[in-house]
């Protein structure tokens, strides 16, 4: 049963209990209310319950007949599952794959109907994007392009000081400019169908944890792009929706890959930076990353359910956040002052001062005769 249904039933029960039995203090409370206030009190409880129950009813959906959907990043994860689900529902799916000859694309082809077409697309490549548009135009037949799902994405979870500028650029190129590139290329087709754009952002685009700089920057940009696009496309009746999952178990959150990636980046970091942090700090950091990744939620279908809603609902929400606990946590965190949310993140991610820094003798005060723009002498790191 959905969380909202439980809350609604609980509220109805409380209202009934209070109304029928009026025990002790509650009775006093009710007695203190005027008849109008009592009606308002019970009316509010009842109204809230009806609203909550109503919100759990399945939303009306569009008819998939004659509708095509283009999805990026179908090699694995959410995109792969979404392509299978939409194919089963009767949509004509154009499944964008980065590597069409690898296992992911092959198994997708095998498990779906012959309506589904694999399209080669690297979202960082202008030429491949325009080729994908041509492929869709040539193979869409009498159908209309109903939705574009920008799902392709990459991630790294490492601290800023050992995340290279190239790494920041790569993430932005896939997660941000990839979306811009693909959306702009397909908008003329979406205008004909008055369809929709579904962008897979992340809760990391709403708040930023340590080690999430590059990824969060890209997802915040994705949300900003979606917000502007939604307002600009209103005049063409094109809906723009974001799906913002928390941490789920898919290849993007694969522990070994992300740990190896950190080790490689650390090895390429300048020696003086590594000495400032110390190997011990880095080892603890890796353990924290591993621990956090192990908490990723395995129920990937929750995200895919929301992606299906985003594509198929007649009146989609602007924003979907799968799983009520993630929604609640996101709501609480975004309402907290930064000083408190920083402390919570630091505690949950065990951020501590590097031992190498603690053991170091106090800094020698700046020599007043030294000009502030002169090159400081290199510190002697132990
Ligand atoms: N899993 C989570 O916890 C989580 C949470 C919030 C948001 N998200 C977002 O959800 C989306 C899907 O991720 P996922 O969890 O399903 O992970 P995933 O399985 O790794 O899916 C990402 C897909 O994007 C593809 N891709 C990577 N670079 C590409 C490029 N340049 N052009 C085209 N495709 C490219 C990947 O192909 P290869 O497999 O060949 O690399 C992969 O198929 C991403 O945007 C991600 O940021 C995930």
**295-299-305 Cα angle (round to 5):** 135
CA distances 358 to 214, 350, 352, 361, Å, are 28, 16, 10, 8
What is the distance between the alpha carbons of residues 8 and 178, in angstroms, rounded to a whole number? 42
Burial 176-204 (b: 16+ CB within 10 A, else e): bbbbebbbebbbebbeebebbbbbbbbbb
Q: Between 56 and 263, whose confidence is greater? A: 263
Among protein residues, the one whose CA lies closest to atom 16 of ligand 1: 77
72, 73, 156, 241: which to mutate for ligand 1, most atoms within 8 A of CB? 73
Burial classification of residue 231, based on how many CB atoms lie within 10 Å of its CB (0-12 exposed, 13-18 middle, 19 or more buried): exposed
Alpha carbon of residue 327 to chain centroid: 12
Please, which pLDDT band fits residue 86 given cuts at 50, 70 and 90? very high
Asked if residue 289 lies in contact with residue 157, where contact means CB atoms within 8 angstroms, the answer is yes
User: What would the mean pLDDT of 138-145 be, rounded to a whole number?
Assistant: 98
Pocket test for ligand 1, best of 72, 77, 79 (most atoms within 8 A of CB): 77
The pLDDT value recorded for residue 365 is: 45
Q: How do residues 325-364 score in pLDDT, each as one tens digit? A: 999 999 999 999 999 999 988 887 776 677 766 666 555 4
From 196, 193, 188, 264, select the one nearest 229 (Cα to Cα): 196
Q: Confirm whether 345 is domain-assigned.
A: no
Looking at residue 70, the DSSP 8-state letter turns out to be E
If asked whether residues 194 and 128 sit together in one domain, one would say yes
Task: Please indicate, yes or no, whether residues 174 and 319 belong to a single structural domain of this protein.
Answer: yes
Residue 267 is assigned to a structural domain of this protein: no
Please state which of the ranges 178-187, 193-202, 339-348 shows the lowest mean pLDDT.
339-348
Q: Is residue 292 part of a domain?
A: no
Is the pLDDT reported for residue 213 higher than 90?
A: yes
CA 97 – ligand 1 centroid, Å: 11
pLDDT at 378 over 50: no
Same domain for 32 and 102, yes or no, is no
DSSP assignment of 224-240, as one string? HHHHHHHHHHGGGT-EE
pLDDT level of residue 87 (50, 70, 90 thresholds): very high
Instruction: Confirm whether 367 is domain-assigned.
Output: no
Judge if 183 and 221 occupy the same domain. yes
Residue 97's pLDDT band, with cuts at 50, 70 and 90, is very high
If one compares 157 and 359, the residue with the highest pLDDT of the two is: 157
Of the listed ranges 1-15, 73-87, 273-287, 305-319, the one predicted with least confidence = 1-15
| 208 and 141 co-located in one domain | yes
Atom of ligand 1 nearest to the CA of 218: 47
Check 19, 91, 215, 281 and give the catalytic one.
215
Average pLDDT score over residue span 283-291:
93
Nearest ligand 1 atom to alpha carbon 75: 43
Residue 125 domain-assigned? Answer: yes
Q: Please indicate whether residue 174, judged by its CB atom, sits closer than 6 Å to ligand 1.
A: yes
What pairs with residue 198 in β-bridges? 149, 241
Q: Are residues 208 and 332 in the same domain?
A: yes
The reply to whether 40 and 75 lie within a common domain is no
Does residue 250's CB lie within 6 angstroms of at least one atom of ligand 1? yes
Pick the atom of ligand 1 nearest to 78's CA: 16
What's the pLDDT at 40?
87
Is 343 within a domain? no
Residue 247: CB within 6 Å of ligand 1?
yes
Ligand 1 centre to CA of 250 (Å) is: 8
Instruction: Give the mean model confidence (pLDDT) for residues 187-200.
Output: 98
State the pLDDT at residue 373: 34
Counted domains in the chain: 2
Identify the residue whose C-alpha is closest to ligand 1 atom 33: 122
Report the separation in Å between the CA atom of 73 and the middle of ligand 1, taken as the mean of its atom positions: 6
Q: 31-40, 192-201, 275-284 — which is least confidently predicted? A: 31-40
When pLDDT is averaged across residues 83-88 and rounded to a whole number, the result is: 98
Q: Do 109 and 222 reside in the same domain of the chain?
A: yes
Q: Is the CB of 75 under 6 A from ligand 1?
A: yes
51 with 107, same domain?
no
Residues 295-323: what's their mean pLDDT? 97
Count Cα neighbours of 271 within 13 Å in the Cβ-side half-sphere: 5
Task: Look over the chain and give the mean of its residue pLDDT values, rounded to a whole number.
Answer: 89
Q: What mean pLDDT do residues 21-46 have? A: 76
Least confident segment among 10-19, 269-278, 303-312: 10-19
Q: Is 350 inside a domain boundary?
A: no
Compute, in angstroms, the gap from residue 209 CA to the centroid of ligand 1. 20
pLDDT of residue 61: 95
Q: How far is the CA of 59 from the centre of ligand 1 (A)?
A: 27
Per the structure, the complete domain to which residue 201 belongs is given by 67-246+298-338
- The CA 361 to ligand 1 mean position distance, Å, reads 45
* For the chain, percent of residues with pLDDT exceeding 70: 87
Q: Is residue 323 annotated as a catalytic residue, yes or no?
A: no
Contact yes or no for 241/199 (Cβ under 8 A): yes
Dist CA 368 CA 101 (whole Å): 65
Residue-wise pLDDT for 241-277, tens only, equals: 999 999 999 999 999 999 999 999 999 999 999 999 9
Say yes or no: CB of residue 154 within 6 Å of ligand 1: yes
């Amino acid at each position: 049963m959905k969380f909202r249904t439980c809350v609604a039933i609980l509220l109805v029960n409380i209202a009934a209990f209070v109304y029928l039995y009026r025990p002790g203090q509650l009775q006093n409370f009710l007695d203190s209310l005027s008849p109008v206030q009592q009606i308002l009190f019970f009316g509010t409880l009842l109204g809230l319950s009806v609203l909550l129950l109503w919100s759990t009813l399945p939303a009306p959906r569009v008819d998939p007949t004659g509708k095509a959907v283009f999805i990026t990043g179908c090699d694995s994860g959410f995109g792969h599952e979404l392509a299978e689900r939409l194919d089963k529902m009767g949509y004509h799916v154009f499944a964008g794959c980065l590597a069409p000859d690898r296992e992911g694309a092959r198994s997708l082809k095998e498990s779906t109907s012959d309506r589904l077409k694999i399209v080669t697309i690297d979202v960082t490549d202008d030429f491949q994007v325009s080729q994908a548009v041509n492929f869709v135009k040539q193979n869409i037949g009498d159908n209309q392009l109903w939705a574009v799902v920008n799902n392709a994405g990459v991630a790294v979870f490492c601290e800023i000081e050992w995340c290279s500028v190239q790494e920041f650029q790569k993430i932005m190129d896939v997660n941000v400019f990839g979306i811009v590139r693909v959306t702009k290329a397909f908008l003329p087709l979406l205008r004909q169908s008055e369809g929709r754009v579904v962008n897979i952002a992340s809760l990391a685009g709403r708040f930023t944890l340590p080690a999430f700089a590059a990824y969060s920057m890209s997802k915040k940009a994705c949300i900003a792009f979606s917000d502007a696009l939604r307002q600009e496309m209103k005049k063409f009746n094109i809906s723009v929706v974001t799906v913002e999952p928390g941490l789920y178990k898919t290849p993007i959150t694969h522990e070994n890959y992300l740990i190896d990636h950190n080790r490689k980046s650390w090895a390429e970091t300048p020696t003086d930076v590594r000495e400032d942090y110390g190997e011990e700090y880095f080892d603890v950091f890796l353990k924290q990353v591993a621990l956090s990744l192990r908490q990723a939620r395995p129920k990937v279908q929750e995200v895919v359910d929301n992606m299906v809603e985003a594509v198929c609902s007649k009146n989609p929400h602007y924003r979907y956040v799968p799983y009520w606990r993630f929604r609640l946590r996101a709501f609480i965190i975004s309402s907290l002052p930064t000083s408190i949310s920083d402390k919570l993140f630091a505690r949950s991610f065990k951020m501590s001062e590097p031992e190498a820094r603690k053991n170091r003798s106090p800094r020698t005060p700046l020599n007043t005769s030294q000009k502030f723009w002169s090159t400081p002498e290199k510190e002697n790191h132990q």
